[in-house]
Amino acid sequence: MNRIKLVAILAVLGIVTFVAMSSIYTVSEVEQAIITQFGEPIGAPVTAAGLKVKVPFIQDVNLIDKRVLEWDGNPTDMPTKDKLYISVDLFARWRIADPLQYFLRLHDERSAQSRLDDILGSETRNAVAKHELIEIIRTTRDRVPLRDTLLTGAGPQQDMGSLVPIQEGRKLVEQQIFAEAAEKVRVFGIELLDIRFKRINYNESVRPKIYDRMISERRQIAERFLSEGNGEAARIRGNRVRARSSRRQSGVAVCATGALTARRGAKTKIWTTLNNVSALR
């Protein structure tokens, strides 16, 4: 009899412990919770950290992250306004501002990431299609390029280093994408915090042609410098030859003048001697 009572007491204690454990849950500082009853949310979201109580068995706890989260899209090929295909890699920071709306519309982070893929990808494609490539690459409007000191005073024909003027720039393009996308993700309980272009590159199919064109332009510049260098070398050599000829002609003239002067002096001495001999006779 006592053994039966002991087993019954242990069973009751086990049931009570199980019920108590099922009634208690914890929420950490980086989480918030949505309580659902038979799959339907009840009450306000639990955003404060600590030990909480719920109705056991019929209520479930759905934990939602409340930290700043990262979205990192895959590089996507898209055309610019000037019909150049580029590969754009974008990343963003976001957080769950309305956990109840987020839970009802998306339920989990995987669905949120997928929805961000669609919205941010679409808005990026629209923004890139409205701007030329230089507007997406450049950041400042009135930037003055650094110029190599070797090019200083190279002449008015040297227009290398000049920058194409822009109207907006990459930062404004990012702001346009952010403004459009933030409005669309707000209905899902998501707050978009920031977006940035991570990498912009030419499409793989046209990249070799672009590199070949860049190499050709650099070769043209090198050939122009080589031609100017050869011309300057020829000018210096010509000046040196002319200076050498001038010095030679000056030396010959001096020698001829000296010989003529010596010959005249010798003749004068001869006539003087002959005159003295005639006088003695």
pLDDT tens per residue, range 190-207:
999 999 999 888 877 777
Interatomic CA distance for residues 199 and 236, integer angstroms: 50
In this prediction the pTM is 0.66
Q: What is the mean pLDDT of residues 252-261?
A: 59
User: What is the domain partition of the chain in residue ranges?
Assistant: 22-64, 69-144+164-225
pLDDT at residue 221, rounded to an integer: 81
**Spelled out in words, what is the top-level CATH class assigned to the domain 69-144+164-225?**
alpha beta
Answer yes or no: is pLDDT of 237 > 70: yes
Answer yes or no: is pLDDT of 257 > 70: no
Burial of 265 (0-12, 13-18, 19+ CB in 10 A): exposed
pLDDT at residue 4, rounded to an integer: 77
Interatomic CA distance for residues 69 and 62, integer angstroms: 18
- pLDDT tens digits along 68-114: 999 998 888 888 888 888 889 999 999 999 999 999 999 889 999 99
DSSP H stretches of helix in the chain? 2-23, 99-105, 109-129, 133-137, 170-185, 207-280
Interatomic CA distance for residues 79 and 203, integer angstroms: 10
199 to 27, 87, 124, 274: CA distances (angstroms): 38, 8, 13, 107
- Spatial neighbors of 158 by CB under 8 A, at least 6 apart, are 151
